Amino acid sequence: MTRPLILGLTGSIGMGKSTVARMFADLGVPVFDADAEVRKMQGPDGALVPAIEAAFPGSTGPGGVRREALGALVFADRDALARLEDIVHPAVANARMDFLARHADAPLVVFDIPLLFEKGGAERVDAVAVVSAPFEVQRDRVLARPGMTGTKFADILALQVPDADKRARADHVIDTGTTLDRTRAQVRALVDKLADGLRA
């Protein structure tokens, strides 16, 4: 049975992964968005809300998981984060299998997975693209976000494989430290290159 070529898309906080994922989607490539799946499952009536409330009492409400509050807790406490991941990651893996089954006939799909290297998913994809920008660009983008502090940014960075390592391990690097148009051109070139490989 044939299956699509799977391109894993990853990158550290604020590097522009979601923006680049949209660029793939705009070119007609099906994109599995791990973060969006998590948000859905943590949202109002989300499937994971009861388990998260049981593990972290008071962390949910009528709108589902209070993400900012839960983030403040788990990003500063690795044991707590591991407990949350044990609840969330198996559900994401199931959603990813469903996605692949739905797009079995596509030539190429993208798995947008923030923690591809951190959680050992790189073996489950055929090639890895890393989005990357200079640290100053990353820092400015992240600190401009509401609710973000220098400490939280530092805590999250410490949990992630460093950008330089990600770039070294990538099959393709997409530079997001430039204009959106230039980044879009890189995405188009990569899709063309992967499509050529599939035809060869």
Ligand X SMILES: Nc1ncnc2c1ncn2[C@@H]1O[C@H](COP(=O)(O)OP(=O)(O)OP(=O)(O)O)[C@@H](O)[C@H]1O
Query: Which of ligand COD, ligand X, none does 11 bind, CB closer than 5 to 8 A by kind?
Result: ligand X
Residue 32: which residues within 8 A CB-CB, separation 6 or more?
95, 96, 99, 100, 109, 110, 111, 112, 113
d(CA 75, CA 155): 6
Q: How far apart are CA 92 and CA 36, in angstroms?
A: 10
Sign of CA dihedral 96, 118, 154, 172: negative
> Known binder of ligand: residue 60?
no
Tell me whether residue 132 is annotated as binding. Answer: no
Which of ligand COD, ligand X, none is residue 152 near (CB under 5 to 8 Å by kind)?
Answer: none
Binding track, positions 5-24, relative to ligand X; x by CB under 6 A? ------x-xxxxxxxx----
Helices (H), 27-125: 34-42, 49-55, 67-74, 78-102
Distance CA 10, CA 179 (A): 19
How far, rounded to the nearest angstrom, does the alpha carbon of residue 76 sit from its chain's CA centroid? 20
CA 158 to the chain's CA centroid: 17
For position 46 contacting ligand X by CB under 6 A, the verdict is no
Comparison of 35 and 171: residue with beta carbon closer to ligand COD: 35
Question: x-or-dash pattern for ligand X, window 123-162, by CB under 6 A?
Answer: ------------------x---------------------
Contacts with ligand X by CB under 6 A: the residue count is 16
Task: Output the smallest distance, CB 1 to ligand COD, in A.
Answer: 27
> Which partner from the list ligand X, ligand COD, none does 132 bind, CB cut-off 5 to 8 Å by kind?
none
Which residue numbers belong to the known binding site for ATP? 14-19
Binding site residues, ligand X, CB under 6 A: 11, 13-20, 114, 141, 176, 178-180, 183
